[in-house]
A and B are shown apart, each in its own frame.
Chain A
């Protein structure tokens, strides 16, 4: 491990004790001109009397454990030396052991409360976690050392992360002239990144870095980092390939390359890159977890518009729904935003949430429900989290497909808030769990209303920060809703085509402020003011306090069996917060109260409102479907069953029941698809499953398949009355291929 991650490189120039610095500098200089020959230089230092020097040399040679032991010995021999502890902390950071690193920085600060290196170490640790403390810590360093170049580089990096290129450039002025070569190289790398982000590639800084350091792959690791966080993964991959070509032992770049190759659907190349990274730096948990993920059993299904990777046991149940949602999404969004997705959309569905987390780690403010890398969508499968836990996977997929369009339409240049806003808006207006009532509006979550009333919403040109560096708990979720509402407002006030025009501006390289000016003809501040007025009206009738009180009263009355009072309180809750369908929705309770009071029709109305307003919790929907069937409203029941099966596609019984209803409605082809999914889910009642398949196959005219399933059903359950009756019927019409059986003794005419 000659070098550690680019972030770690920020700290290589941290102050170390003079006796350590001097012998190392020769080797470092040699490394800059001829990396290969610097090995011998470092090797020679491995017998240096100073344990700290031995530690630095071992680290440079990639002998991490030797380096750690030497740092430990050096610290013991120098009880008052904060710098040694800082360097050991940096070593821990380099091998992804953040907690141990933090403890060492704290230890250093206990020795010297003003130790700049310790603060920088903590800042870097915070930087890696997208924690706002990074900036505070860097500013603390500048209070102690106003011209500290490393702190300026760090602040420039932070500025560039939120798109403030001018501020980043200004912050780099000092570091670009720094005496310390490592700091200068880092500053130049950031300057190159500024150029790349502004589409000025290649950057002149690349050549200047080459003059200073012949194999400084870190510059491309830096430019790649900014491509990654602006979701331009193909460009990131190209930069990382240059980084490792220049410096093959730059394991951090290899690791990042592997992870980003996955994001552009180059699985085999990704595996090779990750294996190399793992061999060179086995400490990176992200790499080892991802390699384990790649070793899992995957099923690959590819057709014209879709490449689907799933757990093999889930493919058959999920594929028809995924195929339909992706095709519809591409068509609907293509028409609404004027962009045709050029190739197949890749969808990866992870059966365990931990695996999804591995796949998306290391990205700022990544979606907790799904993520889209260009045309690659990765998300939890419905087995990872259920709709009753708040994960409506079908809606999440719809959201991600909208990203495919907004990212594709802008060559990945769309701002985070706008892409999320469009996706949220499409969930609300066109998605599988859309608001489908004739009157009213989609209710927004309580947490958003709270943030709005506490004036915690961000202005539009700073809204990206709500995703990338949230400043309070729940701000990411609030920012999603705010973005959706902003897009809703833009579409309602400026026409839906204004959203498409915003995308065109982003594609042409505009930032948010410019895109607003171009597409809407107003200043961002004006949009903020108009949006505030819009929210004032949209949220005016909502009274969260009255809602909570009424809901509590409704539950209390229901628990006491006082259904009249429960119904009254539930109605009050509904009127205090119309169309609210999240976990605390009052509609199911209202329906229960109405049912208890004997008014089944009102109960059905309550649950129908819940459903059409976007409610998807399975218990109320199951109840609604049953009640509708009982009320001979089979067509509506079927619609509810379809919604239920869509949000819980791995629930075998729901798939079977939907198949039954479809077959009863003479929609045999659709029934067959549902039954096929049911069979794939290994239901308990296997004979029943084959019998269902037999009926559906028979209905669509596949007599041979019907016979096969029928015999399979009867093989399991020979006295299965319905199946035997069907066999007799098929025998009568000679569909069994054997003709009628002969009469036997005891037969009655």
Chain B
């Protein structure tokens, strides 16, 4: 993952961008990602290009590369620019550097005017999550603030799997931004936009523990059973309209009760493993 905090222009923005970028990087590291964080004077075009070249060298098509740009962006009716020290990076620059990365890509553009970069950056294997609808939304955006908030928010974790996915963070931030403008009675100057395939990338773990990681065969069996039950729940949900409501909920409950037991055992195993690791230390 590459996280870049752009130029703030004013101390308050500079501080907010750097802080948001640090938080995003910390969350990603805790979730097991390899992260490059660029901020301040380090966040220059060459450094961004180098970091992407590095990712390109290490990743393959099955990997997931995530790029988060946090800061101010601009649009001159033709080009999107991400404001950084030295020459700004344009959407075309970024597209060219990203083209060399073979992995699936999720690009988060938490900048003003970022909607203008979507066309250049969106490819078959790239999802773009932009703070604004297009380049005309030029005011500093609130999106980055709420994006960062989402990474640590239980409310953002709508499927309650203790992970914040890019989709969940995007939905949370987009709704929070809209709600903020509405509650303040202001005309919204930013409308978040998503393009590309569904971005199933984990950006943060709320519990600090990845309960899906199978460290031993017993855990692997439980994870497998849990996943199977979860799939059964999804299958049942797809039949909901064809079933009697009471019957549906009875079947659902049966599956969920079993899932609850499996998840409890999974949690117990993890806790036991953690205690054992602590003892070893």
Using a CB–CB cutoff of 8 Å, the interface residues on chain A facing chain B are: 383-386, 388-389, 648, 650-651, 653, 683-688, 707-708, 711, 714-725, 727-728, 731, 736, 738, 740-741, 744, 746-748
Contacts and interface: CB of A to CB of B under 8 A. Distances in A.
Contacts of A685: 154-158
Contact of A724 (B162, B218, B263): B263
Contacts of A740: 257
A725 B265 CA distance: 11
Contacts of B250: 738
B86 to A, nearest CB: 30
Contacts of B258: 741, 744
A554 to B, nearest CB: 19
Main secondary structure of the interface of B (DSSP, over half): helix
Given A724-B256, A747-B261, A389 B185 contact: yes
A715 B252 contact: yes
B173 to A, nearest CB: 10
Contacts of B259: 718-719, 724
Nearest to A687: B160
A746 B214 CA distance: 15
B257 A727 contact: yes
Given A688-B155, A736-B257, A741-B258, A711 B252 contact: yes
Interface in B107-164: 154-162
21 contacts: A648-B183, A650-B183, A684-B175, A688-B155, A688-B158, A707-B253, A711-B253, A714-B256, A715-B237, A716-B158, A717-B159, A718-B159, A718-B259, A719-B159, A719-B259, A723-B160, A724-B259, A725-B260, A740-B257, A741-B257, A741-B258
A492 B162 CA distance: 60
Contacts, number: 117
Contacts of A723: 160
B252 A684 contact: no
A736 B183 CA distance: 40
Nearest to B240: A715
B264 A386 contact: no
B171 A744 contact: no
Nearest to A387: B183
A652 B228 CA distance: 35
A749 to B, nearest CB: 10
Interface of B: 154-162, 171-172, 175-176, 182-185, 218, 221-222, 225-226, 229-230, 233-234, 237, 249-250, 252-254, 256-265, 267-268
B254 A741 contact: yes
A724 B264 contact: yes
Given A744-B261, A746-B221, A718 B158 contact: no
A396 to B, nearest CB: 16
A724 B159 CA distance: 13
Contacts of A688: 154-155, 158, 160
A651 B264 contact: no
Contacts of A746: 218, 221-222, 225, 262, 265
Given A721-B162, A747-B265, A731 B154 contact: no
A242 to B, nearest CB: 43
Contacts of A738: 250, 253-254, 257
A385 B185 contact: yes
Given A719-B263, A738-B254, 10 more contacts: A653-B155, A684-B172, A687-B158, A711-B253, A716-B159, A719-B161, A720-B160, A725-B260, A728-B261, A736-B253
A184 to B, nearest CB: 51
B156 A684 contact: yes
Nearest to A648: B183
Nearest to A684: B175
B230 to A, nearest CB: 5
B239 to A, nearest CB: 12
A543 B43 CA distance: 51
B155 A684 contact: yes
Nearest to A728: B260
B145 to A, nearest CB: 14
A684 B221 CA distance: 33
A647 to B, nearest CB: 12
Given A389-B185, A685-B154, A738-B257, A725 B159 contact: no
Nearest to A744: B258
Nearest to B227: A719
What are the 3 closest A-B residue pairs judged by CB atoms, nearest first? A720-B160, A717-B160, A724-B260
Contacts of B257: 727-728, 731, 736, 738, 740-741
Contacts of B160: 687-688, 717, 719-723
Given A386-B184, A386-B185, A738-B254, A686 B260 contact: no
A326 B19 CA distance: 47
Given A386-B183, A741-B257, A721 B267 contact: yes
A653 B146 CA distance: 14
A266 to B, nearest CB: 32
Nearest to A741: B257
| Best-buried of B161, B257, B267 by chain A (most CB within 10 Å) | B257
Nearest to B249: A711
B263 to A, nearest CB: 5
A746 B158 CA distance: 29
Nearest to B162: A721
Residue in B221, B259, B261, B267 with the greatest tally of chain A CB atoms within 10 Å: B261
B249 A718 contact: no
Contacts of A744: 225, 258, 261-262
B185 A748 contact: no
A723 B182 CA distance: 32
Contacts of A718: 159, 229-230, 233-234, 256, 259
Contacts of B265: 746-748
A721 B263 contact: yes
Contacts of B156: 684-685
B155 A719 contact: no
A686 B155 CA distance: 9
A683 B261 CA distance: 29
A736 B233 CA distance: 17
Contacts of B249: 708, 711
Nearest to B154: A688
Contacts of B175: 684
A388 B184 contact: yes
Contacts of B157: 685
Contact of A727 (B172, B184, B222, B260): B260
A132 B200 CA distance: 66
B169 to A, nearest CB: 11
A708 B250 CA distance: 10
Contacts of A711: 249, 252-253, 256
Contacts of B254: 738, 741
Nearest to A656: B155
Contacts of B237: 715
A728 to B, nearest CB: 5
A711 B261 CA distance: 15
A747 B261 CA distance: 8
A384 B157 CA distance: 30
Nearest to A652: B179
A516 B184 CA distance: 44
Contacts of A747: 261, 265
A385 B182 CA distance: 9
A740 B258 CA distance: 9
A650 B176 CA distance: 14
Contacts of B263: 719, 721, 724
Contacts of A687: 158-160
